[in-house]
Structure 1
Amino acid sequence: MLWLIIILLCLGNLKSELLDISNETNSDLEEGLFSLLLRLEIEENYNTLLIYGDDCAFPSLSRRLKIPTVLVSSGSTNFEWNFSSLTLILSCDFQAEREENYRTLMKLQMNRRLILLRGDIQPQSVCDFYSKKEQYNVAMVKDNLDQSGVVYSCRLFQEPNFEKVNLFEGNPIFIEQFRNMKGAPIRSFPDMLAPRCMLYRDPKSGKEKYIGFVANLLNNFVEKVNATIVMQEHLIEAGKEVSFVNITNWAAEDLLDIGMSEALSFKKTSFETLSYPYIMSSYCLMVPLPDDIPFNQIYIAIVDPFVLIMILLLFFVFSVMLIYLQEKSLSLSSVLMNDICMRGLLAQSFPFPRYSSRKLKLIFMILCFSSMITTTMYMTYLQAFLYTPPVEPYITSFDDLEISRYKLAITFYEEEILQFLNVSQEKVLVLEYSRFEQLRSTFNDNYIYPVTALRWITFSQQQDIFKSPLFYYEDELCLNYFDILSFPIRRHLPYRDLFEEHMLRQKEFGLTKHWIDRSFLDMRRLNLTSLKDFSRPIPDDQIEVHNLYWVFCMYFAGLGLGFCCFIVELMGPLNRWI
């Protein structure tokens, strides 16, 4: 029994010494981790800690840092992460983070991660594991941090894929790895729609390159991050037409990194595969300028109904006054058939009665003055309209489109939009995109075409070389008043923030506006547009017989009315003839 008691006392003493050593070791590790966390806060500020697991020193350190902390002991959250993006992620073990919430993974993809390694786990395998999840800001420490002073940080574009960072040398632990991609490929595909993206062959190198205000932005980004762009031509199916819709779908399926095209944003419920808006525009109609009024309708156009009614009222007033002052009696026939007033208002000579009273002379003077004003006004209108004919009304609504002679040429992408606008199918012509582009580029003024405000700039510049413009951009007649041009990108693109920052800087420096302004010159240099004058031929300004159609109609109508009056007089009593 005595020996048993001695052995138990020895074991207890040994256990207490081991616990003291363990506590001292944990205390040294905590101090090392605490110093490391303070250094990480200096390198890049963080205001939230997210800790996966609880069997390590990280939870206790959070209390010393006095920073809001979210402890996920199960390894996965059951809610969507809505906290600040300045979050530092700490993992108690290599497999402690088992996040399954998709939205949380998206929001925390590029956040910095610090992992506590235990056992014989190698840093290379950890970096491989996280790179497959496209999480690259990863650093690791081992239990002997207080002794070694080494942090293992993942490096993507090098071999081996990690770097030993000595805390005493002052080197950064986390770096922006995608600022130098060292020739890594960026998968893309062009939509080949001028002036956004146009293909040409470099005369010096003989390589195919792309130009345009969309292609230039992506080309500059590839050069900035020292990457290479690889066009995924194998995605094209034989005999099928490629459009921005296909490219948007390929990016959503992670087959492309960044598409060299506009992204399809219509009816999108999620914008995870769209970049920050590059350019704001509108998608309205390109409408032919209205035709000039034909010469044969000018004689009707100069007759304003209100002015004509006022002239007829003057005729009745003058007729009543003249007849009453001369005959002291009135009759309907004498008022309506007053020959003197009719001649006077038409600026023709008429018999002036002898021995007229002052009142009668005053009426004749007013009649002559009115006839001079009326005939001068209509003669001025007629000469001005014959020299420069007015145009027909502009189309400013879809109701005007319904009663016009034009049809609306569209592609099948706009069919669904027009259904909401209640445009009749008889006024719509649906074409394949290539046929639609060809028809629109020839300025066929029998149709109305949808066009973006950016594309209209090139059409407007092209019309400057015409003798007369053919189309105008009607910004009140739009399929989409707020058209957003974004790039299609894949969902987990790790350098999305760098690309969007580059996009905003290019706009801020004015490069985007410069590229858009010179779009027509680039198209002309690549022979994608012509200098042909598509304007209408100048009409012959000679007045022909058919232009006097309404004049002859009124003339023969007057002859017919006079003949009818003559017949009525012949059918009157015989004593009137005597």
Structure 2
Amino acid sequence: MAWLIFLLFCIVNTGAQLSAITDTSNLDLEKILLTLLLRLQHENFFDTLLIYGEDCVFPSLSRRLPVSTVLASSGTTDFDWNYSSLTLILSCGFEAEKEENYRTLMKLQTNRRLILLQEDIQPESVCNFYSKKEQYNIAMVKENFPKSGLVYSCRLFQDQNYEKVNIFKGSPIFINQFRNMRGAPIRTITDDLAPRSMVTLDPKTGEKKWIGYVANLLNNFIKKVNATMVMQVKLNELEGKIFFVNISKWTANDLLDIGMSVDTTWEMDNFDTFTYPYLMCSYCFMIPLPDEVPYNEVFAVIIYPSVLVMLLVLFCVFSVMLIYIQQRTWRGLSLTSILMNDMCLRGFLGQPFPFPRQSSRKLKLICLLLCFASLMITTMYGAYLKTFLFSPPPKPMMRTFSDLEKSRYKVAMNWAEMDMLRFENDRKLQRVSNDRVEIFEDYHQFVSLRESFNDNYIFPVNSLRWETYNEQQKLFHHRVFYYSNDFCLTRYSILSFPIRRHLPYRDLFEEHILRQKEFGLLKHWMDRSFLDMLRLKLTPYEDFSAPPEETAIYVDDLYWILGIYAVALSISCCCFALELLGSLSWWKSLKKFMWRGFKN
């Protein structure tokens, strides 16, 4: 509480103190620097001081401020900076900061720096020195600061690279210079992968411009900071083909500022060259819809083993009840009499059977239930058969990699995906044989094959790209592919923009990403992706589904039914012949008939 009261008191009396400074030429440097630090803390709060060097007033001055202080007397911290980002950096001279720790340089790149110039060093050379290290929030004071009251602040986007700020006039010392870059170039390149980035011509100027849910975000950022987009098309000639993996590599090598593409961070340990996550999606396979069951297999599809077992049990129950009620004893029960019961066989097949005379009420009830069961069974299987013959059901969908091995499909992969997903080190495709994988070196050839909806392959695709494929299939006569949520490479993939490691306006770009997503622009761009692709003729208005086949049933489709019928008829004839041969009375009658004919 005492600190807050003291701070408010200092702020209120800053004007009076500065007026007194002009009249007092012998005011010591430490007192006016303390006043300057209080003003800087009022403009932008800091709770930590990092002081490079020790041969100046800064170390002793820090004792008078109630903030944490880290003293790097040798010019470097020699440890990873894990303190709060609200840090003000003080340097005891032009070359006092000799930071060599990479992580500390990254985390403190955009922090404000106040440098005490003890020699006759020009501010222009100091600003040039720090601009080479891409550190731009630089302010300097000279030893005559109590008399002049001038702070030299570096300015990037103007002819003179510094500005004299008189602290008595209240002008800001530090400003966010990248909010207006005054036409400065931002180097980028696009992978031209629809719908993320699609090239079109401006109807007014005739120049190329790019649209899409990736390109639009970068376009809006360039307009926001008043910069200029510069496409580094020479990289295609010098470094090889344009691909999002190459764009990430070029950005990490400082050849680009921001890549007009997004890349996954599956196996990244260091995210210095990637922004805050822009998109999250799954990465699964688009699989051809299963073929319809052939007509010659429909008769087997409608028969479920569990239903057959239940009907067999019901048949035995009816048979036992009929035999027992008719004979009123259990002695007539045998395996043959139960399984070959004539009334039950006819009843379950929906055929008429002789009704026993002088039957009891119980027997009539059993026969009534038998008729009802036969009606239900024949109706059920008749409805199944007619429905499946009119519209055959599809075969089971692919669920696992084992199903892939049993199918007729191959996995179409690109070389970059194979590098991440192949067999070594517990890769996702470890259980897939080499014969089932076809690798395409040319990524555009792979994309063209996928866009042709070739149903001989299954293709890896992220859920964002699948949305456009799904919309395209609404133009087809029938769907060709489906997106499998069970057959995936990863169900949670993060996509980020590749950026240069020491990009000084990284914080502005990440803030821009969050604002665009918060305003719903990302969802709007993604919803319009397929319409934009149609308008730019990147997606043909063409039906890639196979033409509907004729639904006629041929004799070949009844092969199994006719075969089973022939076998059953043969068995019946054999049984009938055995019954005739086993009947002695029939042989005697035949013998007498033939003897009478011989006498006549």
TM-score, normalization by structure 2: 0.88
How much has 1:398 moved relative to structure 2?
2.1
Residues 1:41 and 1:334: Cα distance change in structure 2 (over 3 Å): closer
Question: Which one-letter code corresponds to 1:447 in the other structure?
Answer: Y
C-alpha displacement at 1:305, in angstroms? Answer: 1.3
What TM-score do the two structures reach when normalised by structure 1? Answer: 0.92
Deviation (angstroms), 1:44: 0.7
Cα distance, 1:320–1:167 mapped onto 2, change above 3 Å: closer
1:214 is matched with which residue?
A: 214
Q: Structure 1, residues 272-313: CA drift from partner, whole Å, max 9, x if none?
A: 000111111111111222222222222111112122122223
Q: CA RMSD in A?
A: 2.0
Change (3 A) 1:564 1:59: same
Cross-structure match for 2:11: none
Moved more, 515-524 or 420-429: 420-429
Residue-by-residue CA offset, 1:113-150 (whole Å, 9 max, x unaligned): 11111221100000010101111100110111111111
Structure 1 counterpart of 2:574? 564
SS in 2 for 1:236: helix
Letter of the 2:116 partner, please give it: L
Task: Determine the C-alpha separation between the residues in 2 that align with 1:163 and 1:358.
Answer: 114
Report Cα offsets for 1:144-178 as digits up to 9, x if no partner.
Answer: 11111111010111121111111111110011111
Judge which range, 351-360 or 193-202, deviates more.
351-360
Give the secondary-structure state (helix, strand or coil) at the position aligned to 2:64.
helix
**Which amino acid letter does the alignment assign opposite residue 68 of structure 1?**
S
Q: How does 1:445-524 map to 2 (within 5 A)?
A: 445-524=455-534
Query: Is 1:369 aligned to residue 372 of structure 2?
Result: yes
The residue that corresponds to 1:19 in the other structure is none
Residues 288 and 481 in structure 2, CA contact (< 8 A), matched pair in contact too: yes
Contact 1:109 1:134 (C-alpha < 8 Å) held by counterparts: yes
* 1:341-398: CA deviation from partner (whole Å, max 9, x where unpaired): 2222111122334444555444333322221121112112222223333222122222
Instruction: For residue 79 of structure 1, give the secondary structure of its aligned residue in structure 2.
Output: coil
Answer yes or no: is the 8 Å Cα contact 1:109–1:135 preserved in 2: yes
**What is the match of residue 88 of structure 1?**
88
Give me the whole-angstrom Cα distance separating, in 2, the residues matched to 1:384 and 1:26. 104
Aligned residue in 1 for 2:439: 430
**Is the contact between residue 259 and residue 489 of structure 1 (CA under 8 Å) also seen in structure 2?**
yes
| 1:28 paired residue number | 28
Mapped to 1, the partners of 2:93 and 2:302 lie a distance apart of 90
Note the residue ranges of structure 1 that are not aligned, 5 or more in a row: 1-23
Instruction: Say yes or no: does 1:400 pair with 2:417.
Output: no
Partner residue, 1:188: 188
Deviations 1:302-330 (A, max 9, x none): 11212212222333344444455657635
Alignment-derived partner of residue 64 in structure 2: 64
1:110 alignment partner, SS class: coil
Residue among 345, 349, 355 paired with 1:346: 349
Paired position in structure 1 for 2:141 = 141
Superposed displacement of residue 411, structure 1: 1.0
Cα 1:33–1:522, aligned 2, differ >3 Å: closer, same or farther? same
2:21 alignment partner in structure 1: none
The 3 A distance-change label for structure 1 pair 166 and 369 is same
Deviates more, 1:403-412 or 1:139-148: 403-412
* Alignment CA distance shift 1:352-1:155 (3 Å): same
8 Å contact from structure 1 (residues 293, 391) kept in 2: yes
CA distance in 1, matches of 2:125, 2:180: 23
Change over 3 Å in CA distance of 1:343–1:161 after alignment to 2: same
Residue identity over aligned pairs, in percent, reads 60
Is 1:300 aligned to residue 300 of structure 2?
Answer: yes
Between the aligned partners of 2:513 and 2:366, the Cα distance in structure 1 is 79
What is the CA distance between 1:518 and its match in structure 2? 0.3
What SS does the aligned partner of 1:489 have?
A: coil
Deviations 1:405-446 (A, max 9, x none): 222211122224142232222222212311211111111122
Number of the residue aligned with 2:110: 110
Corresponding position: 1:382 with 2:385: yes
Match of residue 7 from structure 1: none
Q: Give, in whole Å, the separation in 1 of the partners of 2:264 and 2:348.
A: 67
Worse-matched range after superposition: 364-373 or 515-524: 364-373
Q: Find the aligned partners of 1:238 and 1:91 in 2 and give their Cα distance.
A: 42
Partner-residue secondary structure (3-state), 2:136: coil
- C-alpha distance in structure 2 between counterparts of 1:562 and 1:434, whole Å: 65
Which range moved further: 514-523 or 286-295?
286-295
User: Amino acid of the residue matched to residue 452 of structure 1?
Assistant: N
Structure 1 residues 179 and 48: alpha-carbon distance in aligned structure 2, compared to 1, 3 A threshold = same
> Quick check: 1:30–1:57 contact (8 Å CA) kept in 2?
yes
**CA separation in 1, counterparts of 2:547 and 2:68?**
76
CA distance in 2, matches of 1:53, 1:238: 44
Paired letter, 1:417: L
Please identify, of 375-384 and 482-491, the stretch whose mean Cα deviation from structure 2 is larger: 375-384
For residues 220 and 325 of structure 1, what CA distance do their matches in structure 2 show?
Answer: 89
- How far apart, in 2, do the equivalents of 1:363 and 1:112 lie? 97
State yes or no: 1:128 paired with 2:105.
no
Answer with 398-407 or 65-74: which moved more. 398-407
The partner residue of 1:538 within 548, 565, 571 is 548
- Give SS of 2:263's match: coil
**Contact 2:27–2:146 (Cα < 8 Å) also in 1:** no
Instruction: Give the 3-state SS of the residue equivalent to 2:488 in structure 1.
Output: strand
Tell me, in whole angstroms, the C-alpha distance in 1 between the residues paired with 2:99 and 2:473. 58
The superposition leaves residues 506-565 of structure 1 with CA deviations (integer Å, 9 ceiling, x where unpaired) of 111111111111001111111100111122322323332222223212211211211221
Partner amino acid, structure 1, of 2:180: N
Provide the secondary structure at the position in 1 that maps to 2:28.
helix
* Equivalent AA in structure 2 for residue 402 of structure 1: E
1:165-210, Cα deviation, whole Å (9 max, x unpaired): 1111111001111111111111111011000111122232111111
Task: For residue 69 of structure 1, give the secondary structure of its aligned residue in structure 2.
Answer: strand
Provide the rounded CA distance (Å) in 2 between the counterparts of 1:361 and 1:100.
101
Equivalent of residue 417 in structure 1, options 418, 421, 424 = 421
- Greater shift after overlay, 289-298 or 218-227? 289-298
